[in-house]
Amino acid sequence: MSVTEKVVDKIINEKNISVENLLCTKLRTTRSGCSLCIDTCPLNAIRISDSGIEISGDCNECGACISVCPNGAFRMKEGGESAVLQEIRDKITDNNGPVFRFSCAHGDKKADLTLPCLGRLTEALLLGPLRNGASATELLKPDCGECHSGKASSQIDEVTKQTGYLLDMFGLDKNAVYVKRAAFSATPAREEKNVSRRAFFGSVRTKMMGIAAASLPDGETHEQPVSPVKNNKRYVLLAVLKTFSPAKEVFIPSADAMLADIEISEKCDGCGACAAICPVGAMTRCDSDGCFSLGFSPALCTNCQACSMVCLRKAVSIKQTVKLNLLLQTGETKLIEVKKKTCPVCRIDFIGGEAGICPICINTGNKRMAAIKNLTKGIRP
């Protein structure tokens, strides 16, 4: 593709949604069958291939993928999580209404905040109004069956349910976040802004320059991120949760939870695959003082289960129920700490194994001999 074609392609297909492949569980490990974004996208605009996540031109920026991906692999370039929270804060001081009302573009036009689609809402955004003094968060939801983004409807229910668990933990009314039926209006509401001509052309110029720069065949734009990519979505949620104080301990079934509680059994052989694969950096490996240890930060865990799927020894297990309060725990807990031995054959440190030789050397040796036996059998019947 030539530079001109790239620029044209970017202008036509450039979406406000950016993707972060390193945060995608499916791209981190072939073992994961996660397809939450693909299943949720109302327009089937998401494809995941070896080269990464691709959003096709069909995307209408409803933001359901942002809401559904627990790892925060999708981000709004403009109007991200923090920006919407700021908007909520501003609107609340204007209104001082007891109930904060969200609506989608096809819903009630008198709502406090109108988003393109309610499927874009995350737990952090639903808690936002409550944190800033509103008594309840109301979702004015028209009949999603009439909307082309209707498939995102299930995501609204899921996020509302998850927010209910969080409210329960803070001793607040579970029903402080609720869905209310609204009439469907066929013409989508658009926020009209008075923009001067100078400002309009100024913004066009800035955007075009950005697009042109990104389209240049320059190595600079493809630089590997220096620091590990962070799950921004979770960090925003944790910041919102900090403003509440926990009232009681809430236990929820693991299958339904936004985090997992992980156990490591003594079968662990210290390969460190779980830590290497964890997309959100909730599992960390430490090799200091001749010890192998695994650290776990439950607040960062998104219950993607990549660690347990990947473990060859089946040493990583996810507890049946999880204490939601672990979300508020800062720092990491040590799951396992074992002294390392050095293998006299391969001179590599290892843990476990009964003999003084590392289990991999024994296994490799045995298998190699079995193959050779097979070979010599053919020579000397």
Partner 1 sequence: MSELNPILPQEIIDESFKKPGPKQYTLWVDLEYCIGCHACSMGCKAENNTPVGVDFNRVIEIEEGEFKDPKKTPDIGVYFIPMPCMHCGEPACMAACPVGAITKRKDDGIVLINKDKCIGCRYCAWACPYGAPQFNAEAKVMEKCTLCVHRIEKGLIPACVETCVAKTRFFGEMNAITDFVARQKVAKKVSVGAGGTKPSVIYTK
Q: Which two tokens stand for residue 247?
A: 């009232």
Q: Is 276 in the site for partner 1 (CB under 8 A)?
A: yes
Q: Which is nearer to partner 1, 150 or 272 (CB)?
A: 272
Beta bridge partners of 334: 295
Beta bridge partners of 338: 292
Q: Is 273 in the site for partner 1 (CB under 8 A)?
A: yes
Q: Which is nearer to partner 1, 240 or 358 (CB)?
A: 358
Residue 21 backbone zone (phi > 0: left; psi -120 to 50: alpha; other: beta): alpha
Q: Which is nearer to partner 1, 55 or 306 (CB)?
A: 306
What DSSP designation does 139 have? Answer: E
Q: How far apart are CA 144 and CA 343, in angstroms?
A: 62
| Among 13, 30, 221, 265, contact with partner 1 (rule: CB under 8 A) | 30
Q: Is 374 in the site for partner 1 (CB under 8 A)?
A: yes
Q: Which is nearer to partner 1, 79 or 352 (CB)?
A: 352
- Cα–chain-centroid distance for residue 68? 8
Q: How far apart are CA 43 and CA 123, in angstroms?
A: 23
Q: Where are the alpha helices (H) located in the chain, listed in sequence order?
A: 3-13, 25-28, 36-40, 64-68, 81-95, 123-131, 153-169, 197-215, 232-242, 273-277, 306-310, 359-379
Contact 102, 118 (CB under 8 A): yes
Site string for partner 1, 120-159 (x = CB under 8 A): ----------------------------------------
What are the b/e assignments for 192-220, b being 16+ CB within 10 Å?
eeeeeeeeeeeeeeeeeeebeeebeeeee
Q: Which is nearer to partner 1, 254 or 308 (CB)?
A: 308
Task: Point out which span in 24-32, 127-135, 143-151, 226-234 binds partner 1 (CB under 8 A).
Answer: 24-32
Site string for partner 1, 308-347 (x = CB under 8 A): --x-x---------------------------------xx
Task: Point out which span in 106-114, 159-167, 320-328, 365-373 binds partner 1 (CB under 8 A).
Answer: 365-373
Q: Which is nearer to partner 1, 242 or 267 (CB)?
A: 267
Q: Which two tokens stand for residue 300?
A: 């960062």
Q: Is 222 in the site for partner 1 (CB under 8 A)?
A: no
Cα 151-81-72 angle, rounded to 5 deg:
65
Q: H/E element holding 18?
A: strand 17-19
Least distance from C-beta 295 to partner 1, angstroms?
Answer: 17
What DSSP designation does 189 have? Answer: P
Task: Point out which span in 106-114, 144-152, 168-176, 372-380 binds partner 1 (CB under 8 A).
Answer: 372-380
Q: Which is nearer to partner 1, 214 or 276 (CB)?
A: 276
Contact 298, 327 (CB under 8 A): yes
Q: Is 363 in the site for partner 1 (CB under 8 A)?
A: yes
Q: Is 8 in the site for partner 1 (CB under 8 A)?
A: no
Task: Point out which span in 28-36, 92-100, 132-140, 238-246 binds partner 1 (CB under 8 A).
Answer: 28-36
Q: How far apart are CA 89 and CA 243, in angstroms?
A: 14
Q: Which is nearer to partner 1, 134 or 358 (CB)?
A: 358
Number of H helices, E strands in the chain: 12, 17
| Among 24, 28, 48, 315, contact with partner 1 (rule: CB under 8 A) | 28
Contact 111, 103 (CB under 8 A): yes
Sign of CA dihedral 23, 28, 32, 35: positive
Least distance from C-beta 312 to partner 1, angstroms?
Answer: 5
Q: Is 12 in the site for partner 1 (CB under 8 A)?
A: no
Site string for partner 1, 44-83 (x = CB under 8 A): ------x---------------------------------
Q: Which two tokens stand for residue 190?
A: 């658009």
What DSSP designation does 229 have? Answer: P
Least distance from C-beta 203 to partner 1, angstroms?
Answer: 38
- How far, CA to CA in Å, does 35 sit from each of 25, 46, 69, 149, 279? 10, 10, 9, 18, 15
Q: Which is nearer to partner 1, 176 or 343 (CB)?
A: 343
Residues found near partner 1 in the complex (CB under 8 A):
28-31, 50, 271-273, 276-277, 310, 312, 346-348, 360, 363-365, 367-368, 370-372, 374-376, 378-380
